[in-house]
Amino acid sequence: MAASLNMLLAGFGGQGILFAGKLIAYAGLIEGRELSWLPSYGPEMRGGTANCSVCLSDEPIGSPLVLEPDVLVAMNQPSLDKFIDSVVPGGKVIIDSTMCQRLPERDDVDIFPVPATQLAEDNGLKGLASVILIGKLLREIGFCDPRTLDEAIVKSVPPKKAHLLPKNRKAFEIGMLNEDGESVPVCSLPEDWSVE
Amino acid sequence: MAASLNMLLAGFGGQGILFAGKLIAYAGLIEGRELSWLPSYGPEMRGGTANCSVCLSDEPIGSPLVLEPDVLVAMNQPSLDKFIDSVVPGGKVIIDSTMCQRLPERDDVDIFPVPATQLAEDNGLKGLASVILIGKLLREIGFCDPRTLDEAIVKSVPPKKAHLLPKNRKAFEIGMLNEDGESVPVCSLPEDWSVE
Amino acid sequence: MKGNEALAEAAIRAGCRFFFGYPITPQTELAAYMAKRMPKEGGVYLQAESEIAAINMVYGASAAGKRAMTSSSSPGISLKGEGISYMAGADLPGVIINVQRGGPGLGGIQPSQSDYFQATRATGHGDFHLIVLAPSTVQEMTDYVFRAFDLADEYRTPVMILADGMLGQMMEPVVLPEPKTEFPAKPWAVTGHKGQRTHNIVNSLHLKPERLEETNVERYQRYDRIKATEQLAEEYRVEDAEIVVVAFGASSRIVRSAVNKAREKGIKAGLIRPITLWPFPADAISAATDRAKAILTVEMNMGQMVDDVRLVVCGRVPVEFFGRAGGIIPTPAETLAVIERIAASLEGGAR
Amino acid sequence: MKGNEALAEAAIRAGCRFFFGYPITPQTELAAYMAKRMPKEGGVYLQAESEIAAINMVYGASAAGKRAMTSSSSPGISLKGEGISYMAGADLPGVIINVQRGGPGLGGIQPSQSDYFQATRATGHGDFHLIVLAPSTVQEMTDYVFRAFDLADEYRTPVMILADGMLGQMMEPVVLPEPKTEFPAKPWAVTGHKGQRTHNIVNSLHLKPERLEETNVERYQRYDRIKATEQLAEEYRVEDAEIVVVAFGASSRIVRSAVNKAREKGIKAGLIRPITLWPFPADAISAATDRAKAILTVEMNMGQMVDDVRLVVCGRVPVEFFGRAGGIIPTPAETLAVIERIAASLEGGAR
Amino acid sequence: MSKIVFERPHSLTDAQFSYCPGCTHGIVHRLVAETMDELGIEGTTVGVAPVGCSVLAYEFFGCDMVQAAHGRAPAVATALKRALPENVVFAYQGDGDLASIGMAETVHAATRGEKITIIFINNAIYGMTGGQLAPTSLPDQVTQTSPYGRDVNEAGFPIRVVEMLSTLDGVALAQRVTVDTPKNVRAAKRAIKKAFEYQVEGVGYTIIEVVSTCPTNWGLSPVDALQWLRDNMLPYYPPGVYKDVKADGFANVAEAAAARALELAGGGEV
Amino acid sequence: MSKIVFERPHSLTDAQFSYCPGCTHGIVHRLVAETMDELGIEGTTVGVAPVGCSVLAYEFFGCDMVQAAHGRAPAVATALKRALPENVVFAYQGDGDLASIGMAETVHAATRGEKITIIFINNAIYGMTGGQLAPTSLPDQVTQTSPYGRDVNEAGFPIRVVEMLSTLDGVALAQRVTVDTPKNVRAAKRAIKKAFEYQVEGVGYTIIEVVSTCPTNWGLSPVDALQWLRDNMLPYYPPGVYKDVKADGFANVAEAAAARALELAGGGEV
Amino acid sequence: MPRIIVDGRYCKGCGLCVDVCPSKCIVLDPDTITDKGYHPAMLTDESLCTGCASCAIMCPDVAITVER
Amino acid sequence: MPRIIVDGRYCKGCGLCVDVCPSKCIVLDPDTITDKGYHPAMLTDESLCTGCASCAIMCPDVAITVER
Ligand SMILES: Cc1ncc(C[n+]2csc(CCOP(=O)(O)OP(=O)(O)O)c2C)c(N)n1
Ligand SMILES: Cc1ncc(C[n+]2csc(CCOP(=O)(O)OP(=O)(O)O)c2C)c(N)n1
Ligand code: SF4
Ligand code: SF4
Ligand code: SF4
Ligand code: SF4
Ligand code: SF4
Ligand code: SF4
Ligand SMILES: [Mg+2]
Ligand SMILES: [Mg+2]
């Protein structure tokens, strides 16, 4: 895993894409890294696609706008179709397979379909599919210590919505589950991403 | 008389200064000269002084703003006091002596006091003191053929106010009267200012 | 005829039938003239509720394919900035008159040239330019406003006449142009599609940045054509000039007198008078720079056009600036003094 | 913290208790933040009826001696032109934020730098300047808005923060400054004379041109002091740079990446990042020019700051421009390509 | 054989509206388009799109369209009508556009009696920019810029636009409608059509205020938004005809104004 | 011993007014200054001078003064009052300033219920710029920009400002007065004083419209101008109290607005 | 036979038609997701539809055609 | 003894005081011209003045002081 990680999260407005991106950014902040978070903005969000760019790095971040992502999290078909070609070779693509019927054909990137929306609905976590995907992402590329991400969740859920905290944690956990349904207790972080 | 003549006419708003200046300009136009007429403008006119710059020349006119006049026509004391020092040596100064108690002390300019306001009132020509002064000016420096100025008057009095035409002519004539009260029929024009 | 009236009459003769104004000194005569004449020409004179409304009315009338104009003076032009940017963005022709007065703020009402930057660089937000014409006589007020309408239609761009209080207020003899009777077709105008074409849209919004960039690039290609073909400048005694004075509009008249006086004193001075301020007459000034030893820019402001001169001269010879601000017109005498000083220093340098 | 929120919080910490805004993308978060925080700070958040009202409210609050601010984006800034000119004319401090978007006209809402000319040359009519600060990180958004209030008070001038949609929208870690508690006295403010002094007047009108010129000249003397002491620029790998890239704000971040990549390829590239756009950091760029073989200016517009660079370079080395317009952020890759092209041509020329 | 009793009007293009699900902008668009169809004026109408959620209206209406700067639609429409007196000109404006930044243009187009039609969407919020306080936001209404609810002592009182404009002599028709039920939609349609008809007849300035929803920024489902409208908006903004010079027995605004002046002069001190 | 029963108020400076002979601007200035004297507020008042003939008002009033951009006096006054809530803030505006370019600022300061006082000089003309049509110029009135008389079909109808503003909830006092006779001058004085008093009490926005003359641009002698005012202006602009929430029994505008909202909600359709 | 046709390109699944239909014969189709991510409206039972057009009148996206 | 004092620095000879004086004891002095060019108002006959201050109330230039 490179010292610099550029991620693009994309989906419909309302799917929690921006929140998910903030979780990653927050985790970076807690771990003292350079980071940036940049949402798409403006009225085209309305009923259209929303996306956000998140960069984590050990050096000052140049462009916070991610055009060639190391990581793509795609939560719907139009977003997947739009951005898949821009992923760098060797990049990781996390896909909400409930929302994307057609999976991409690239074989120079690692593709991880997760039926996140379905999983969310099944587990009474409506609206938290994005957090499930973040769990999956962390599992696959371990961009931070899972405890850090948990801390990020705690800090990102506003006090007024404290009742949602357990649900967010649950969603995160579901994402972190490995294929056999077993939760991954400690993430094997790459060297340059470990903390303390 | 120079081929280029810069005049400054100054007085209170409402004394007919701008109209008088236009007469001179119009005469220049009729005689095919280069000319410009530039009024002071804006709210300071209100209750304050009004003035206008008139240039007649055989060459294109540079600055239409007359700062060092060859001719000053002053219709009130403040204007006289303000501008007298700027008149070029050898210049002519026509003064409405009804309105100016203190005459200037310069002896390098020719000073012609005319009780124009008084003369106008005495002759039932209220508001036409300025035209009287133009008559005097023409008599003294013959900047054009008197017939031209007559034509200028005819063209400058708007048709709606045609009844004022005789009065304007009368005022002009009074100004042209020489000291012995005799009307000057033909003005002895300097060579470079004659027409046809 | 007063300069302001000449502007108005020439606009009418150029086929302008829509005038939207708002009173401000020193351009009021223009609107007054329009108010008198327009009804007789079957045109519309409308005193808008503000300068902002006025420019947006020009936008509307122009969108309908009509020749339209507004006029104001410095503070009022600032208010039109957004509207002018919209016109540029929607590629709408139209003529804007600025009879400048001293600033900033309410400033004063005497003649000034302190809106040069605003006219040539940033009349509003975004990347765009106006064609800017700077008359220096009442005759030119007439000629350039006439020309302005043609340029506006040809290049689908707003055009500004940058005059000042002196030119607006003064009277000079003027020969008026014959009224224009033939006008270019405007198939893009919104006039109702009558069921005979798809609907026309006048618009400057492009939410996709790629699309917005395209429109910008296309516009700048048009600007390049304008730069290549529409530069205008008058040269006066420049052929052998060692000191070239650059001045536009009212101040160029003073400089002309000063140049004459300098010549009388044996100083080889000349005048280049930019007529188009945008496109700036770089070619003429560059050519003169090749022969000159020094350039002097004279403006009725604190130094604005001098930047454009410097960009053209590009360090080849020294560029000096002389200006008066706040509504003061420089005198030929003080301008001459500056020329003499430069001449003296050149000689000093030569020794 | 989003850039827009950082601007707001820093302003509050700088003692700003009067915010007058009007919604516009991409700066809405700033106003939203103010609306939340101001009541808790005993300050005034007022959504004005328009950008014009907002800037005139800043004028009023500043006249009363208060630290006041407004914020908008490109079209809204155009509308503030008159008001800003008034502030300059009346020598009133105040801070104006422009979170730029693509233009002209309604344009788009994506990040842009196309109001550079407007900010540095002609935010309104008349001779005046703003101090213009261009942050490039969220941390700088914080720092410079804080600094802006001090500069505004010190020089009695409006100060603009020229940001863009990218900086406004992005989140980065930020360290907030300690709240300011001591403020300069403002004996000129209108607070009611309490019978203890003659009445204070805040005004920009001077009907006598001599008087108006005096105020202009005095203001330009202040500007000279600002030019002498307040120029700010960041230099990055410039010491031995043969190709110096000049870029500010958002685009400077891209250039920094490109410079790094160029260095990796053995090209001696460096970056000068103007922080004060006015006063333009002429000294830094001039010094770098002495050592450089070519200058490249990269902007998110059709070419604006490049004029200022050319004025400084003054023909000493070639100055090139690369820009993207309409809300497109240039990529490090395409910027690198331009640097490589220049490097190649320099080598070609050297042969 | 079944026949079509309801379909997309011709005066709408095929483009999908950019509005949020359930936003009443769409209903009003349809009513305007139907009016154009029924009066057969699509080919002679020029519409003005504002800055607001309906900024893209130029893509939706089939007639010629002009996009206007924020708040300036009345000025643009004025000029269009002056330039094209035989055409029909309407402007479509939101509450921020019409009643905040564009208040001067609104009042002046109205007092001039411009023969244009204004469709005024009052949704008590700035929709496009993400839900800020509008001049028509209700007391205590929470918005992005009134997070503690609209405090009338700080942010002032909502403006009742048609009531205010009704005091102006140039206004021929000022009516408030809503679109919360099929019945009210039909009434709104009649009002809009009447306004266009008055314009064609040259009666004067016409404005139809449509009390509308903004589900997105109100944070309500479309259905709940309509209920909130009924519960909160309508009491503050009662639908009704606030001025109708023809109903008052005058042919146009000039006649009505002359009569009023006479009455005032006779009446002496108020 | 004789004693002085009338002299220049203290709150006027020694400067001579820049107004034309016989212009009623001067009378109103005096009334404002007398009000400041009587309420003892010269030292705590901040006045706002507009763009118009009274642009130089900052030289005439003894209190602290701010010169505002054309039409923006209400915005400037709003901010002054917000910044200095303990002070008294008034703006002095002409009809072009207040009702044309400044219409949006006027309506919004009024609807916000800003606790400021507006002295509104309606002389049916743009005096300063040399006599152009004002929003309040009368039908058929000849001005520099309506040389054939104001044609209401082209230039629209005059705006009755206080009538219009009275529809807004933020307005505490909206009254029209004139100054053509000593009696009316005294009444005008009472109105102005009342407005300042309401401001001090925090009742709401107050505006006093003074029907005034412009002898210069009307082309009449000062005495004839007053007669023209009586014959033509007053019938169109009848003096009177158009809104006075205290007289209506409320302590301030918020109370009055609440009562009105209740009434409307109950009243149903208009 | 009265019925409605919902155009999936336009429908945004807002549910206003569902709410207003007096015959309660419209639902949002839980099994379909449009390109824009909405569950579009669908007629549940043609026989219930009276062709009253209430749904179409309220439809903000003019997605409904009514036949009778 | 009631009387008025007209301050010549302020008076612009507008004549409003002349018109309004119930005792008709003010005229514009034809023999004086002020610095600004006006004929200022003057009290013709002190004995007629009642000190009613009507003149002062109407004076737009606040040029009149009234003693009683
Ligand atoms: C001069 C200017 N100021 C502000 C904006 C930003 N802006 C876009 S839409 C809008 C207001 C939208 O509200 P409204 O008019 O009520 O329409 P809605 O979106 O609610 O339909 C604003 C302030 C702009 N584009 N231009
Ligand atoms: C932005 C702007 N537009 C126009 C002007 C010019 N202007 C000066 S005073 C004035 C109007 C004066 O009329 P009014 O407000 O009625 O005041 P009055 O002079 O009649 O007392 C105008 C339009 C200006 N100074 N600034
Ligand atoms: S934001 Fe509100 S007004 Fe705008 S489209 Fe969405 S629901 Fe409609
Ligand atoms: S122009 Fe009219 S309003 Fe202005 S000072 Fe003169 S008389 Fe008074
Ligand atoms: S009302 Fe229209 S858009 Fe909404 S669900 Fe029904 S058909 Fe779809
Ligand atoms: S036409 Fe009437 S009955 Fe049929 S689906 Fe629509 S609302 Fe229901
Ligand atoms: S005080 Fe009365 S009586 Fe005396 S001069 Fe004045 S108006 Fe006449
Ligand atoms: S009213 Fe005043 S200004 Fe007028 S004439 Fe009398 S004293 Fe003089
Ligand atoms: Mg709205
Ligand atoms: Mg007026």
Using pLDDT thresholds of 50, 70 and 90, give the confidence band for residue E2: confident
Alpha-carbon distance B108 to B89, whole Å? Answer: 5
One domain, residues D224 and D314:
no
What value does the mean pLDDT take over residues C310-329? 97
Alpha-carbon distance F10 to A162, whole Å? Answer: 64
Dihedral angle at the C-alpha atoms of E105, E111, E117, E123, nearest 10 degrees?
Answer: 60
One domain, residues C207 and C254:
no
Contact C80, C193 (CB under 8 A): no
Q: Which of F88, F102, F122 is nearest to F206 (CA)?
A: F88
Which one of F53, F126, F132, F229 would you pick to mutate in the ligand 2 pocket, going by the greatest count of ligand atoms within 8 A of its CB? Answer: F126
User: What pLDDT score was predicted for residue D349?
Assistant: 63
G61 lines ligand 5 (CB under 6 A): yes
- Asked whether the predicted pLDDT for residue E217 surpasses 50, the reply is yes
What value does the mean pLDDT take over residues F140-151? 98
Burial G23-57 (b: 16+ CB within 10 A, else e): bebbbbbeeebeebbbbbbbbbeeeebebbbbbbb
The one-letter amino acid at F257: A
One domain, residues D189 and D41:
yes
Alpha-carbon distance E113 to D330, whole Å? Answer: 50
The DSSP bridge pattern shows strands E4-6 and C131-133 to be: unpaired
CA distances for C111 relative to C100, C128, C167, C324, angstroms = 6, 27, 8, 11
One domain, residues D215 and D243:
no
List the domain boundaries for chain A. Answer: 4-177
Q: ∠ CA C263-C265-C271 to the nearest 5 degrees?
A: 25
User: What pLDDT score was predicted for residue E253?
Assistant: 98
One domain, residues C214 and C270:
no
- Asked whether the predicted pLDDT for residue B93 surpasses 60, the reply is yes
- Asked whether the predicted pLDDT for residue B194 surpasses 50, the reply is no
Neighbours of ion ligand 10 (CB under 5 A): F 94-95, 123, 127
Burial of D133 (0-12, 13-18, 19+ CB in 10 A): buried
Alpha-carbon distance C309 to C320, whole Å? Answer: 10
User: What pLDDT score was predicted for residue C23?
Assistant: 97
G14 lines ligand 6 (CB under 6 A): no
Chain A CB contacts of D331 below 8 Å = 63, 67
Instruction: Write out the two tokens for D63.
Output: 């006249």
Give the residues of chain D that fall short of pLDDT 50. 351
The rounded Å distance from CA F125 to ligand 10 centre is: 4
Instruction: Write out the two tokens for A14.
Output: 């309302």
Query: For C36-83, how does the pLDDT look when each residue is reduced to its tens digit (9 = 90+)?
Result: 999 999 999 999 999 999 999 999 999 999 999 999 999 999 999 999
Q: How many helices (H) and strands (E) does chain A have?
A: 6, 6
Chain D CB contacts of A54 below 8 Å = none
Contact F28, F212 (CB under 8 A): yes
3-state secondary structure of E225: helix
Contact E154, D47 (CB under 8 A): no
Alpha-carbon distance H41 to H8, whole Å? Answer: 8
Chain D CB contacts of F62 below 8 Å = 199
What value does the mean pLDDT take over residues C154-171? 97
- Residue ranges of the alpha helices (H) in chain A? 17-30, 77-83, 116-122, 129-141, 146-156, 165-176
Alpha-carbon distance A138 to A117, whole Å? Answer: 18
The domain boundary, picked from D229, D264, D286, lies at D229
Q: Does G56 touch chain E (CB under 8 A)?
A: yes
Using pLDDT thresholds of 50, 70 and 90, give the confidence band for residue B189: very low
One domain, residues D206 and D237:
no
Q: Block means of pLDDT (10 residues each) for chain A, length 196 residues?
A: 83 89 95 94 65 94 93 94 95 94 92 94 92 95 92 91 92 80 42 31
Contact state of D205 with C105 under an 8 Å Cβ cutoff = yes
Query: G touches which chains (3+ CB pairs under 8 A)?
Result: A, E
Instruction: CATH number of the domain at D277, please.
Output: 3.40.50.920
Tell me the average pLDDT of chain C.
Answer: 97
Query: For H33-54, how does the pLDDT look when each residue is reduced to its tens digit (9 = 90+)?
Result: 887 788 999 999 999 999 999 9
Contact E127, E216 (CB under 8 A): yes
Give the closest residue (by CA) to ligand 5 atom 1: G59
Adjacent-strand bridge partners of B57:
B4, B34
Give the closest residue (by CA) to ligand 2 atom 6: C24
Which helix (H) or strand (E) element contains residue F29? helix F25-39
C50 lines ligand 2 (CB under 6 A): no
User: What pLDDT score was predicted for residue A108?
Assistant: 96
Q: What structural domains does chain E harbor?
A: 25-264 (3.40.50.970)
Alpha-carbon distance F191 to F178, whole Å? Answer: 10
The DSSP bridge pattern shows strands E88-94 and E45-49 to be: parallel
First to last CA, chain H: 6
Whether a cis peptide bond, with omega within 30° of 0, leads into D173 is no
Query: For E68-123, how does the pLDDT look when each residue is reduced to its tens digit (9 = 90+)?
Result: 999 999 999 999 999 999 999 999 999 999 999 999 999 999 999 999 999 999 99
Alpha-carbon distance E242 to E256, whole Å? Answer: 14
User: What pLDDT score was predicted for residue E233?
Assistant: 98
User: What pLDDT score was predicted for residue A95?
Assistant: 96
CATH superfamily of A4-177: Pyruvate-ferredoxin oxidoreductase, PFOR, domain III (3.40.920.10)
Dihedral angle at the C-alpha atoms of F36, F37, F43, F49, nearest 10 degrees?
Answer: 40
- Residue ranges of the alpha helices (H) in chain D? 3-13, 28-37, 51-63, 74-79, 81-89, 116-120, 138-155, 165-169, 209-229, 249-264, 282-291, 305-313, 332-350
Using pLDDT thresholds of 50, 70 and 90, give the confidence band for residue B187: very low
The sign one gets for the Cα dihedral F7, F12, F13, F17 is negative
Q: How many structural domains does chain D have?
A: 2
Contact E188, E180 (CB under 8 A): no
Give the closest residue (by CA) to ligand 2 atom 20: F127
One domain, residues C164 and C274:
no
Residue D3 contacts by C-beta under 8 Å, 6 or more apart in sequence?
A: D135, D138, D141, D163, D167, D168, D169, D170, D171, D172
Question: Rounded to an integer, what is the distance from CA D337 to the centroid of its chain?
Answer: 28
Query: For C85-102, how does the pLDDT look when each residue is reduced to its tens digit (9 = 90+)?
Result: 999 999 999 999 999 999
Domain, as residue range, for D297: 233-350
- Tokens 């607001």 appear where? E52
Contact D177, D149 (CB under 8 A): no
The one-letter amino acid at D205: L
G44 lines ligand 6 (CB under 6 A): no
Alpha-carbon distance F153 to C46, whole Å? Answer: 11
Q: H60 — phi, psi (to 5°)?
A: -75, -15
Instruction: Write out the two tokens for B175.
Output: 């100004």
Shortest CB distance from E261 goes to which of F108, F113, F236?
A: F236
The domain boundary, picked from C197, C229, C261, lies at C229
Residues of C contacting chain A (CB within 8 angstroms): 207
Give the closest residue (by CA) to ligand 1 atom 13: E126
Concatenate the DSSP letters of all residues of D42-82 into one string: T-EEEE-SSHHHHHHHHHHHHHTT--EEEEE-HHHHHHTHH
Alpha-carbon distance F144 to F151, whole Å? Answer: 13
Alpha-carbon distance E105 to E84, whole Å? Answer: 19
User: What pLDDT score was predicted for residue G1?
Assistant: 84
Alpha-carbon distance B67 to B8, whole Å? Answer: 8
Query: For B6-31, how does the pLDDT look when each residue is reduced to its tens digit (9 = 90+)?
Result: 999 999 888 899 999 999 999 999 99
Contact F179, F185 (CB under 8 A): yes
Minimal C-alpha gap between F20 and chain B (Å): 6
- Asked whether the predicted pLDDT for residue B192 surpasses 90, the reply is no
Contact E150, F112 (CB under 8 A): no
Which helix (H) or strand (E) element contains residue C313? helix C305-313
User: What pLDDT score was predicted for residue D347?
Assistant: 86
User: What pLDDT score was predicted for residue B185?
Assistant: 42
Give the number of residues written for chain G.
68
